[in-house]
Structure 1
Amino acid sequence: MTTFVLATRNEKKKRELLQILLPVLGEDTEIRTAAEAGLADVPETGVTFAENALIKARAAAVATGLTAIADDSGIAVDVLGGAPGIFSARWAGRHGDDRANLELLLAQLGDIAEEHRGAQFRCAAAAVTPDGREFVAEGAMPGHLAAAPAGEGGFGYDPIFVPAGSTKSAAQMTPEEKNARSHRRIAFDGLAAILAEQTGL
């Protein structure tokens, strides 16, 4: 059995990542969460999604002696030059306040016409082994931002993000619908493929 540690304390993200990772990595894979491994929060001081994912994975690998998996993700809005980007989780000033972040972003786009509300969810997934090998894969899910929230599922900006080709927000989709096309799915599928090629992982 191969054991990994998943460096996140966000419960909703953890559930989503487990739904994505376990089928890809195989049934003989054990994934320990940050809480189970007793990991402390690590300051995300990087300036890209990939840098922040690697910071978290490095710290978790050192602390546990296991191969660590982490991600950093957020929403990039075209008319805001890619913001909130790496600041998505603390856009309104307090980390993890989904409602405040969403309301602030909607207010900032209040006068922007629908055809100019393009955005994409982006994700960088990283793995770091105890011997220092590092792997990164990235993914994106394009779409646009609705004028008002819709749906009770998901988390973060999901209620206002409508993936390209869909009429439903990410929060109106089932977990299976969302995970089949999400930025995290693309990034973690890529990361899992890299890990599967590495001897001993």
Structure 2
Amino acid sequence: MAVLAIATRNAHKVDEIWAILAPLLPHVHREDVASALDLDAPSPVEDGVTFETNALIKARALAASTGLPALADDSGIAVDVMGGAPGVFSARWAGSHGDDAANLALLLDQIADVPDEHRAASFICAAAFVTPDGREFVEVGRMQGTVARAPRGEGGFGYDPAFVAEGQSVTNAELSPERKNALSHRGAAFRAMAPHVAAFLAEPQR
């Protein structure tokens, strides 16, 4: 019986979020956590114009449909020279939602002629936690860096193969999962969220 729901159908993201949260929620076990896919929950329309709004839309919908406390995140890459795009449209930048290869190829093509010194970007993650009784929490994490000229590495997902975090010489996809989580926008957002989750789960459940 799950005690915590995560609003994603992406198995990579579930694994990544759990790897971040597990050390901070020692009384919660992996089998206590279920994804939206596990729960066969409906997918809400993500029509917000900010990461925070979209994260809340997903968490609210999952909490309402399952009766479980729900975590969600919305994240993407913001490229300075593109005015912060793709931003909230990162997952569907090339048209089809979740086509990581096409999204990355299009972004790299769009900034192919941009000099290295102007390829600054940031990953942004808004994490939301919504409880069945309607309490809501939002935390935001950022990861500064630059966009590489070509994909490198086999790890990670999304834009990871072309993102080099500040102070690093390799892409996110070349980092170990542990190192990536220590540096990442998602790691920062969910580490900040963990105390809210722990406090709720420690309450006597009615």
Q: What is the aligned partner in structure 2 of residue 141 from structure 1?
A: 143
Within the alignment, does 1:75 sit opposite 2:116 as a pair? Answer: no
Q: Is the 8 A contact 2:2 2:34 kept in 1?
A: no
Aligned pair 1:200/2:192, yes or no? no
Q: CA deviation at 1:43?
A: 1.1
Aligned to 1:90: 92
1:122 aligned residue: 124
CA–CA distance in 1 between the matches of 2:37 and 2:152? 31
TM-score normalised by L of structure 1: 0.96
User: How many angstroms does 1:31 deviate by?
Assistant: 1.2
2:34 is aligned to 32
- Name the SS of the counterpart of 2:170 in structure 1: coil
Task: Count residues with an aligned counterpart.
Answer: 201
Q: Is 1:18 matched up with 2:18?
A: yes
What's the Cα RMSD here?
A: 1.5
Q: Structure 2 length normalisation: TM-score?
A: 0.93
The separation in 1 between residues aligned to 2:21 and 2:174, in whole angstroms, is: 22
Partner SS, residue 152 of structure 1: coil
Give yes or no for contact 1:89–1:95 (8 Å, CA) kept in 2. yes
Gaps in structure 1 of 5+ consecutive residues: none
After TM superposition, give the deviation of residue 195 of structure 1 in Å: 3.0
Unpaired runs of 5+ residues, structure 2, are none
Among 47, 50, 55, the residue aligned to 1:48:
50
Does the 8 Å CA contact 2:5/2:71 hold for their aligned counterparts? yes
Q: Displacement, 1:28?
A: 3.0
Aligned to 2:3: 3
Q: Deviations along 1:93-132, whole A, 9 cap, x unmatched?
A: 1101111100100011011000100001000000000111
Deviates more, 1:1-10 or 1:98-107: 1-10
How far apart are the structure 1 equivalents of 2:57 and 2:137?
A: 12
